[in-house]
Amino acid sequence: MNKPELHIVILAAGRGKRMRSQLPKVLQPVGGQPMLTHVLEAAQQLPYDQIHVVYGHGGEQIRKVFADSPVNWVEQSEQLGTGHAVAQAMPLIPDNADVLVLMGDQPLITTQTLQILMIAGGDLALLTMKLDDPSGYGRIVRNVAGDFTAIVEHADATSLQLEINEVNSGVYRFPAGRLKQWLSRLDSSNAAGENYLTDVLAMAVAEQLWTKTREVDDPNELLGANDKRQLARLERIYQQRQSDQLMDAGVTLADPGRLDVRGRVQTGEDVYLDINTVLIGKNFLADGVSIGPGCVLEDCRLAAGTQVLANSVLQGVVTEGACSIGPFARLRSGTVLAAGVKIGNFVETKKAVIGANSKASHLSYLGDSVLGANVNVGAGTITCNYDGVNKYQTTIGDNVFIGSDSQLVAPVSIGSGAFIGAGSTITQNAPEDKLTLSRRKQVTIDRWQPPKRRQRSSD
């Protein structure tokens, strides 16, 4: 017998009014990514045939963000309830399929937990959790024998039922054909006046289908976010997970509570992250990389032994060997540093390819530049790469010494072994192995007198 198809339906049509935001609820970020991204990632690792996302509020925005996702978009133009939402996707799902229903605002769900539901057996299955404070959630009602009988929503529950602390997570597996029939029988005669998806479970029980419940170990996984406080809570749980994963991979964290990962990190051995590190996008940190306090790294590839000192911001940086960066350095995209490069405090680089063992230790701007090996860039050196309209290239050969406070007006090239006198404004190419400088000779005025305080009449 062929395995039934698996169709995953993600409910994402809610407005999320309590977020008080222009951004639709499922686009609110956790770990720098929309909540829906996390749900999709967990779902996509299952052997599914089709993922359907039910959208409504902010549909245009959502579809734009997920334009590249191979999901089937189903519009629910009016939010008439979770049952109505699922019903919108059903015409596209064959009767013999399994349907997994997920909520778009439960970003901490993991594939492993979804698998528990997949292998739970029975005709249908749902994930439950026990909460100290179950308010707001649908309660799991059982008979005296302990068998599941129904879900009762908070607003519709009796005071006895409100005492139940086992709640519905909102994640279910249904047989598609039956689900279609049940959904067609739903009405909105309840406290919310909505079509409750949860009502189909009592129908399944009445038809004596085998309904399995599985309680999850970690209720955190199924927490949703309706407002910014809950969103912040999810963020902290998410970040704790990232810290745990990094530590499991051998990374030393100065403080697991003061690290934010907004993307993916790959690490070698003996990587060290000091406090308040923010890692954005895709970062690769090879063996022995050390990141000082207060650094931001976005889409960087740092080679083994690279040291980033306090308060540095790196975007799209590649180091090809051990380098020293910072403190207070800003390295922008297109910065490629060969082994042994030193970039010191208050240095900004952009599209700068810098050769082995070259140094810019203080207060410089290196943009649209190619530097050879063993170059010494003096404090205050600026590549003037922009004339207000176009950008131009600066090329510097090997073993060049650039005296402090020099301006290199691009396009310009400095030959290997050249020495640029301090305070020069270089507008033409400087030849190899020669001293070039462009400043006036120093003069001293012998007859000079220091200024005297003027006598004022009122004094």
Show the CA angle centred on residue 161, arms to residues 156 and 162, nearest 5°: 80
If binding is defined by CB under 6 A, does position 148 make contact with ligand UD1? no
Omega into 175 within 30° of 0, i.e. cis? no
User: CB within 8 A of 68, min separation 6: which ones?
Assistant: none
If binding is defined by CB under 6 A, does position 37 make contact with ligand UD1? no
The pair of structure tokens assigned to 94 is 């064959």
**In the complex, what is the shortest distance from the CB of residue 110 to ligand UD1, in angstroms, rounded to a whole number?**
16
Catalytic residue among 38, 52, 154, 362: 362
Question: Which of these segments, 77-85, 90-98, 363-371, 395-403, binds ligand UD1 (CB under 6 A)?
Answer: 77-85
- The Cα–Cα gap between 6 and 84 comes to 20
57 assigned to active site = no
**In the complex, what is the shortest distance from the CB of residue 15 to ligand UD1, in angstroms, rounded to a whole number?**
8
- What is the three-class DSSP state of 302? strand
Name the residue with tokens 């749980």: 237
Q: Which position among 31, 170, 268, 378 is part of the footprint of ligand UD1 (CB under 6 A)? A: 170
Q: Toward Ca ion, which CB reaches closer, 21 or 425?
A: 21
- Cα–chain center distance at 257: 17
Question: Which of these segments, 34-42, 161-169, 179-187, 309-317, binds ligand UD1 (CB under 6 A)?
Answer: 161-169
Q: Are 69 and 41 in contact (CB under 8 A)?
A: no
- The Cα–Cα gap between 57 and 164 comes to 33
DSSP string, 92-120: GS-TTSEEEEEETT-TT--HHHHHHHHTS
**In the complex, what is the shortest distance from the CB of residue 24 to Ca ion, in angstroms, rounded to a whole number?**
14
**In the complex, what is the shortest distance from the CB of residue 161 to Ca ion, in angstroms, rounded to a whole number?**
19
**Residue type for 316, please?**
G
**Residue type for 213, please?**
T
Q: Which position among 6, 35, 42, 54 is part of the footprint of ligand UD1 (CB under 6 A)? A: 54
Q: Toward Ca ion, which CB reaches closer, 69 or 230?
A: 230
How many of the chain's residues bind ligand UD1 (CB under 6 A)? 27
Q: Where are the alpha helices (DSSP H) in 207-266?
A: 228-248
If binding is defined by CB under 6 A, does position 326 make contact with ligand UD1? no
Per CB under 5 A, residues contacting Ca ion are 224
- The Cα–Cα gap between 392 and 400 comes to 20
Binders in 82-141 for ligand UD1, by CB under 6 A:
82, 84-85, 103-105, 137-138
- What is the three-class DSSP state of 254? coil
Q: Toward ligand UD1, which CB reaches closer, 43 or 412?
A: 43
- The Cα–Cα gap between 289 and 322 comes to 8
The pair of structure tokens assigned to 283 is 């970062």
Q: Toward ligand UD1, which CB reaches closer, 6 or 197?
A: 197
If binding is defined by CB under 6 A, does position 167 make contact with ligand UD1? yes
Half-sphere exposure of 251 (CA within 13 A, CB side): 26
Q: Toward Ca ion, which CB reaches closer, 53 or 325?
A: 53
- What is the three-class DSSP state of 91? helix
Q: Which does 382 bind (CB under 5 to 8 A by kind): ligand UD1, Ca ion, none?
A: none
Q: Toward ligand UD1, which CB reaches closer, 63 or 301?
A: 63
Binders in 201-240 for ligand UD1, by CB under 6 A:
224
If binding is defined by CB under 6 A, does position 76 make contact with ligand UD1? yes
Q: Toward Ca ion, which CB reaches closer, 34 or 224?
A: 224
State the residues that interact with ligand UD1 by CB under 6 A. Answer: 11-14, 54, 76, 79-82, 84-85, 103-105, 137-138, 151, 153, 167-170, 196-198, 224
Q: Residues with catalytic annotation? A: 362
